[in-house]
Structure 1
Amino acid sequence: MALFFNIFKPFMKIIILFLSCFYAGLVIADATIITPPSSIAKWYKPQNKRQVWLHNMFQLRRARHAVGDYAMANNNKLLNKWLEKYQKSYLKISQMVPEFKDEVDLKLLQKLKQAAADKDYNAVSSTLRQLDKTCNSCHNDYRATTVLLYRSADFKSHKIKTKNGDIGYKKYMLELTHTINRIKIAVADDLPQNAKAQIKELNQGIANLSKDCDTCHKQKPQADDYFNQTIKNKIAKLQIHLKENNKKDLNKTLGYIAVNACAICHGTHRISYDIKQQILNR
């Protein structure tokens, strides 16, 4: 058992990633998927310059916490200040997405305002909890699918810039996979010149991809996190191992690159993108 674990330990992240994708596919296939009204799209990028819906939810949540805290502190002045903000954000829900009109409980909102006016802080707290249930009802139905549809990356029409022109994302990623496998094949078949050429292709391929990260991740360190100095050193070591004909360390180093320059990002982007496509194609 220990020998088995040691052999597969370097590949555990990839195995877990594969099983996660497989399981997610089964869940999507069998589950009833509830998607949000299409009108919500105009409050998210790319149809909007900002994530307007998301920020309204943040404002609503912040105001809710403030109202609850000030009710517990019997601070009527600050409670009413934040209650105005809460009401504004709560009413925006059906204003922005008319299909959510029936989800907004105006009677409970009025009850909350009356409790605040009466300085009945216990009633304020209990009514807030009732309003929380109306929020949770929608969240249970729509939050997960909304995140997948409108907050996860969409690579379908995305292209990677290379010296030979723009290449579609799926094709580019597939070619990177081929490159890694060509290195392993060339090493196994004692074709060092082929392996050397493919290692050079891998280095350029990852470099191109890292630059593309900046199109969404605006902070400069993002590309550095992906194509960091450790990965660069590992790629340089591939050439050293190849020159020394050290197949064991070459394959080990290649495995490290596959996990840390490929699988880690796949764990965030590929799973969400694949599930998103399954939802859209239903």
Structure 2
Amino acid sequence: MKKMKLGLIALLFFFFSPLPAFSSDFVVAPPPKSMDKYYADSGRISEWIAQMRKLSTAFSAIFVSLDKENWVLAEKYSAKFIDSYKKASEMIPEWKEEFDLKAANELKESILAKDMKKLGRASETLGKTCSHCHSKNNTSVWARYHWPSTDSIKVLDPIDEKELPYDVFMEKLSDSLKRISVNFEQEDFQQAWRSLDVFKKRITSLRSVCSKCHVDEWTKGSTSVKEFFVGNDILGVLQEIKKDFATGEPSEKNFRKNIDYINKRSCKTCHLVHQPVAAIQQAWQQKN
């Protein structure tokens, strides 16, 4: 029985492997339009996700039951798994071929017959089909449905007093930051001070953008998502630069240290998180 347990655990790890294997010609293609209806209500868990959870929970329960040598429960959960698996196979017509209903039925039959070899074969087949579908489609589903496009985001520019498209505002924000360094290098500290004020106003305005995607996170807990990239630490560093400017002889070492902190802690980290998906979305738009 020990060997049986080890084998079942191995199969579970195979099925739920968090590191899918990608082919050398892997392409992030847009998910089928038929999936849109399952993500129509952004305030609720997607019906597709809910179905996937039912499916995976039932599959796990089969092996947990078998690990306890409870074949009756294993049979019960295999029936639930087949029902969930069949329903999922019908939800996205374009993905119907990704599901192996024959293997799902063989899984149940092997449990009824208490045939461990047949159970192993059926489980391995199901594991491969699931892993293939996940590695092929997960990234595209995340990019379309879990990352709102910045095309719909507008930001109020506190300097121009106009509502601007997100990409236009970000260009202005970047220009504001660069002007601080350029004026500092030219020892035009008065103009560097003015540029600092402009940048501070714009990056403060940027904080409002977080809530346009992170609606739930914005209202829960004491730490807001805005603290990750445009938090009080960034505003504090800007204040340090301003105080140094006020001396009339600002330290270049301190200035570089503070500007580097902003570049790495705010700009770079935010871009690393958000730009890859934005690039995928833009590539899809250009193909349409």
> Which TM-score tier does this pair reach, normalised by the shorter chain?
0.7 to 0.9
Residue in 2 that maps onto 1:73 = 68
Q: Secondary structure at the match of 2:151?
A: coil
Query: Is 1:256 aligned to 2:251, yes or no?
Result: no
Give per-residue Cα distances to partners, 1:166-187, cap 9 Å, x unaligned: 2211011111100001111221
Query: Is 1:137 aligned to 2:132, yes or no?
Result: yes
Name the aligned partner's letter for residue 237 of structure 1. Answer: E
Give per-residue Cα distances to partners, 1:21-61, cap 9 Å, x unaligned: xxxxxxxxx86554432212222356784333233223322
Cα deviation, residue 80, structure 1: 3.2
Query: Is 1:42 aligned to 2:37, yes or no?
Result: yes
Residue in 1 that maps onto 2:272 = 267
What CA distance in whole angstroms lies between the structure 1 residues aligned with 2:175 and 2:157? Answer: 17
The counterpart of 2:229, out of the listed 226, 233, 251, is 226
Residue in 2 that maps onto 1:209 = 206
TM-score (ref. length: structure 1): 0.79
Deviates more, 1:252-261 or 1:160-169: 160-169
Query: Is 1:243 aligned to 2:241, yes or no?
Result: no
User: How many pairs does the alignment contain?
Assistant: 253
4+ long deviations beyond 6 Å: none
Q: Specify whether residues 33 and 235 from structure 1 end up closer, same or farther in structure 2 by C-alpha distance, changes over 3 A only.
A: closer
Name the aligned partner's letter for residue 272 of structure 1. Answer: V
Residue in 2 that maps onto 1:193 = 190
Please provide the CA RMSD for this pair. Answer: 2.4
Whether the 8 Å CA contact 1:68–1:125 is kept in 2: the answer is no
Give per-residue Cα distances to partners, 1:244-272, cap 9 Å, x unaligned: 32233213211211111111111110122
Cα deviation, residue 142, structure 1: 2.1
For structure 2, the residue ranges without an aligned partner over 5 or more in a row are 1-24, 219-223
Cα deviation, residue 109, structure 1: 1.7
Whether the 8 Å CA contact 1:115–1:123 is kept in 2: the answer is yes
Q: Specify whether residues 216 and 48 from structure 1 end up closer, same or farther in structure 2 by C-alpha distance, changes over 3 A only.
A: closer
Whether the 8 Å CA contact 1:71–1:125 is kept in 2: the answer is no
Q: Specify whether residues 200 and 212 from structure 1 end up closer, same or farther in structure 2 by C-alpha distance, changes over 3 A only.
A: same
Q: Secondary structure at the match of 1:214?
A: helix
Q: Secondary structure at the match of 1:175?
A: helix
Q: Specify whether residues 243 and 47 from structure 1 end up closer, same or farther in structure 2 by C-alpha distance, changes over 3 A only.
A: closer
Residue in 2 that maps onto 1:54 = 49
Residue in 1 that maps onto 2:169 = 172
